[in-house]
Structure 1
Amino acid sequence: MNGKVTTTRTKLERGRSALGPALELVHTGRAPTRAVLTSELGVTRATAGAVAAELEALGLIRVDSSPGSAAGSQGRPSHRLAVRESGPVAVAAQVHADGFRAALVGLGGRLVATAPGCVTVTADPAQVIGEVVDDCARLLRDSGLRCVGAGLAVPSAVAEPEGTALNPLHIAWPAGAPVREIFATCVREAGIAGPAFTGNDVNLAALAEHRHGAGRGAQHLLCVATGHRGVGGALVLDGRLHSGSSGLALEVGHLTVNPEGRPCHCGGRGCLDVETDPLAFLTAAGRAPGPEESLLKQSGDLLRNEYDDVAVRTAAEELIDRLGLGLAGLVNILNPDRIILGGLHRALLDADPERLRAVVADRSLWGRSGSVPILPCTLDHNSLVGAAELAWQPVLDDPLGALA
């Protein structure tokens, strides 16, 4: 009798320990059916079925027990698994040089609702973060959905373990602003349930793209992107962000690509940050930035709509060559198996993909022996989705414990 009880308890514990890995497989789209889930987890069909049923009971996924068979297929079709559309959400917030945006994000990286706030970002981080959290709270109240936590993306390196914005170059916040503490306080005061997390916007964009977008399946993923101002980078290794010893790794914006170039905010000259961002492109094309739209939108529209203009094309080629030089140096150091580009860099890649790939291949040791795939980011608002990933992570680690 005791042996039977022990066996039952062991099976139950094994099934519960598989809840997190199973949820992550469905969350990232790698287990669309129960048969695939069984194979990926390395468990029996019965255990996989019990795990799926438990996740469904928690309101996290849907199990379709009677899917239609594909034409010409044989045998009984496997139960289909999908994230639950009416399930819990994470609150996500992003602050950038031209304002902020609030969002609700469900499992699978699905944007449930967004609310842009194009306002002047003042020198008081508490005021700005408080405003975007208020928008998040309104979205959450209107949705009526359960909240698992909150994440904030900021345009600055975030030092660990303090959670401070080390040097927010393109917004007027003081160096060392305690953004994690401010965000957690605002979230708590707004009545938003769950823990609060903060991270660098490009780091979070890379995490989102790795799980749900152009970086899916890469083992060593390099992401380089322009924000509304400046350039950032991130590295995802075996599914986890590489943040260095104190959260400050991959500040690629301060690689020198033009020694005689523009002065940079970091004190250097000719950095990627000031040679390949939206302001650099508008300036090189001879266009004065307007006040009515973000620099990122103005530069992207110019590149897409007026690429035949000689000045615009010349400016684009100049930026592509400098971006390619920076990417080649990163390839030599990091040896990634995929590069993804966001913001204006994505538009530059779309405008002349062969030129950029040729520069990288010509200037990098590994590029010559076998070119590294360079792809555009594919997710809308990937920094917001990445901020939500921070809030979802405790649920992915332990669904029962996080939702108890």
Structure 2
Amino acid sequence: MSGKTAPRSAGDAVARTRLERGRGALGPALELVHTGRAPTRAVLTAELGVTRATAGAVAAELESLGLIRVDSHPSAASGSQGRPSHRLHLADDGPVVLAAQVHSDGFRAALVGLGGHLVATAPGCGTVGAGFVDVLDQVVTAGAELLAAAGRRCVGAGLSVPSAVAEPEGTALNPLHLPWPPGAPVREAFAERVRAAGITGPALAGNDVNLAALAEHRHGAGRGARDLLCVATGHTGVGGALVLDGKLHTGSAGLALEVGHLRVDPDGRPCHCGGRGCLDVETNPLAFLAAAGRTPGPEVSLLRQAEELLRDGYADVAVRTAAERLIDRLGLGLAGLVNILNPDRIILGGLHRSLLAADPERLRAVVADRSLWGRSGGVPILPCVLDHNSLVGAAELAWQPVLDDPLAALA
């Protein structure tokens, strides 16, 4: 009897091992499809380092969970050689997450699918008041209305705010450009509103530039970079974020990369941090408008006014001189960051993206001239490419538990 049962036990053990290996590969496999790095089952097999049979089983399991779709008939890319492979697509009718963004000029809610695809958006206009709970209530209500109209399963929610978000508390430590009290418990309040709206799944919050960098790294201009530096200025202020070895670096308490308070002009403008000449006040939209001799109007945001002036008025000497001043200040700050961080790519957002477009050679020359390693090779400096990248990044927060363990997250 022992001779007959041993082979069956060994076979069972092999089967269990294959099953466990396949389940352990579900998350990495989903992330590969989510980020566009595995368009076919053959690529998935190679990237995971598993057998074709295991990769096929993993793809089938993700399809059964409603996350991806596997073409029933294999096909080969035009001009390719070798065996055709089944193409992998994200499910068009799969689950979504609720993403929300609050900034100084209002808020926006969206439903975001895998791949960073915006399924539906609901812009919320108006002034952000001091009652942060009321604002979060409005944005979650807008998101709940989108969900009701879409009829899609929601597996979580993410919130982007223009403030450092302290960990592990989830508090907005310094919402300097919002009339919110320092230390506002935004994650807790957001989670409470999400639960009250009947939305299931985790509810998380993060800094807007951190989330923009995360989105760009997975789906945009930062894709393929190992160490990615993102610097951006939106409606007000300047923020920075760093992706190290493919992972967002937030420091020991979520407060890393406050690049806005690098000093780039000792005799410059006073900064709200108590210093003078910080990147935050020397390279933001208000600084550009002031340097160009323009008085900002109340009709549209400072960012839009600055970008329109840069685009439409660059032939004006005063506008061009103002742009060059900001480019030089920005380049000085970026050079200092390159010396410290040694990134393999820099991406710029907001007005900084527009400054790069206005005179890319000047900005790259300043960075190369003032950084230790710039003259020998240089760091690629690229514009952010995703629309609403902070919103997509907020969605990435909510998708992360699914990417980590699809079976547990969707059980």
TM-score, normalising length from structure 2?
A: 0.97
In the TM superposition, residue 40 of structure 1 has moved relative to its aligned partner by 0.4
Asked whether 1:10 is paired with 2:42, we answer: no
**Matching residue's letter, 2:336:** G
Runs of 4+ in 1 over 3 A off after TM superposition: 67-76
Q: Deviation of residue 238 (structure 1)?
A: 1.3
Rounded to whole Å, the distance in 2 between the matches of 1:271 and 1:252 is 9
**Comparing 161-170 with 74-83, which one deviates more in the overlay?**
74-83
In structure 2, relative to structure 1, the CA distance for the partners of 1:343 and 1:403 (3 Å cut) is same
Root-mean-square deviation (CA, aligned residues, Å) is 1.0
Q: How far apart are the structure 2 equivalents of 1:81 and 1:70? A: 13
1:379 lines up with 2:386 in the alignment: yes
Q: State the alpha-carbon separation in 2 of the partners of residues 127 and 300 from structure 1.
A: 31
Deviation at 1:294, TM superposition (A): 1.2
> Which residue is 1:368 aligned to?
375
Deviation at 1:224, TM superposition (A): 0.1
For residue 29 of structure 1, the aligned residue among 24, 29, 36 is 36
Contact 2:75/2:87 (<8 A) preserved: no
For 2:299 and 2:9, the matched residues in 1 are separated by 74
Question: Does the alignment pair 1:245 with 2:215?
Answer: no
Q: Which amino acid aligns with 1:150?
A: A
Matched, 1:100 2:107: yes
Bigger drift between 35-44 and 298-307 goes to 298-307
Q: Distance in 1 between matches of 2:303 and 2:94?
A: 34
Question: Which of 142, 148, 162 is residue 135 of structure 1 equivalent to?
Answer: 142
The residue aligned with 2:296 is: 289
Deviation string, structure 1 residues 280-310 (Cα, Å, up to 9, x no partner): 1111111111211111111111111111111
Bigger mean CA offset, 62-71 vs 329-338: 62-71
Give, in whole Å, the separation in 1 of the partners of 2:251 and 2:286.
Answer: 29
Picking from 180, 186, 195, the partner of 1:179 is: 186
TM superposition shift of 1:69: 3.7
SS of structure 2 residue aligned to 1:113: strand
Q: What residue number does 2:64 align with?
A: 57
Structure 1 letter corresponding to 2:160: A
* Deviation sequence 1:132-183 (CA, Å, 0-9, x none): 1111111111111111100000000001111111111111111111111111
CA deviation map 1:94-136 (0-9, x unaligned): 0001111111111011111111112101111111111111111
8 Å Cα contact 2:155-2:201 kept in structure 1: yes
More deviation in 367-376 or 194-203? Answer: 367-376
Q: Distance in 2 between matches of 1:181 and 1:75?
A: 53
SS in 1 for 2:89: strand
Report deviation, 1:272. Answer: 0.7
User: Which of 372, 391, 405 pairs up with 1:398?
Assistant: 405
- Provide the secondary structure at the position in 2 that maps to 1:342: strand
The one-letter code matched in structure 1 to 2:239 is G
Corresponding position of 2:55: 48
Question: Aligned AA for 1:135?
Answer: A
Equivalent residue for 2:338, pick from 309, 331, 349: 331
Q: Provide the C-alpha distance between the structure 2 equivalents of 1:355 and 1:378, rounded to a whole number of angstroms.
A: 21
- The aligned residue for residue 230 of structure 2 is 223
What is the distance in 1 between the residues matched to 2:349 and 2:32?
25
Residue number in structure 2 paired with 1:358: 365
**Aligned partners of 2:103 and 2:171: how far apart in 1?**
16
TM-aligned CA deviation for residue 65 of structure 1:
2.5
The within-5 A match list for 1:110-149 is 110-149=117-156
Contiguous gaps of at least 5 residues in structure 1: none
Task: Provide the identity percentage.
Answer: 80
Deviations 1:28-57 (A, max 9, x none): 000000000000001111110010000001
8 Å CA contact retained: 2:76, 2:85: no
Task: Report if aligned partners of 2:97, 2:156 keep a CA contact under 8 Å in 1.
Answer: yes
From 75, 84, 91, the equivalent of 1:84 is 91
CA distance in 2, matches of 1:226, 1:366: 25
1: distance between equivalents of 2:104 and 2:318? 26
Structure 1 counterpart of 2:376, which letter?
A: S
Paired with 1:135 and 1:121, the residues of 2 have a C-alpha distance of 15
| TM-score under structure 1 length normalisation | 0.98
Shift of 1:228: 1.0
Structure 1 letter corresponding to 2:36? G
Report the Cα distance in structure 1 between the residues aligned to 2:262 and 2:81, rounded to whole angstroms. Answer: 56
Report if aligned partners of 2:75, 2:85 keep a CA contact under 8 Å in 1: no
What is the letter of the counterpart of residue 78 of structure 1?
S
Q: Is the 8 A contact 2:101 2:107 kept in 1?
A: yes
> CA separation of 1:70/1:395 partners in 2, compared to 1, >3 Å: closer, same or farther?
closer
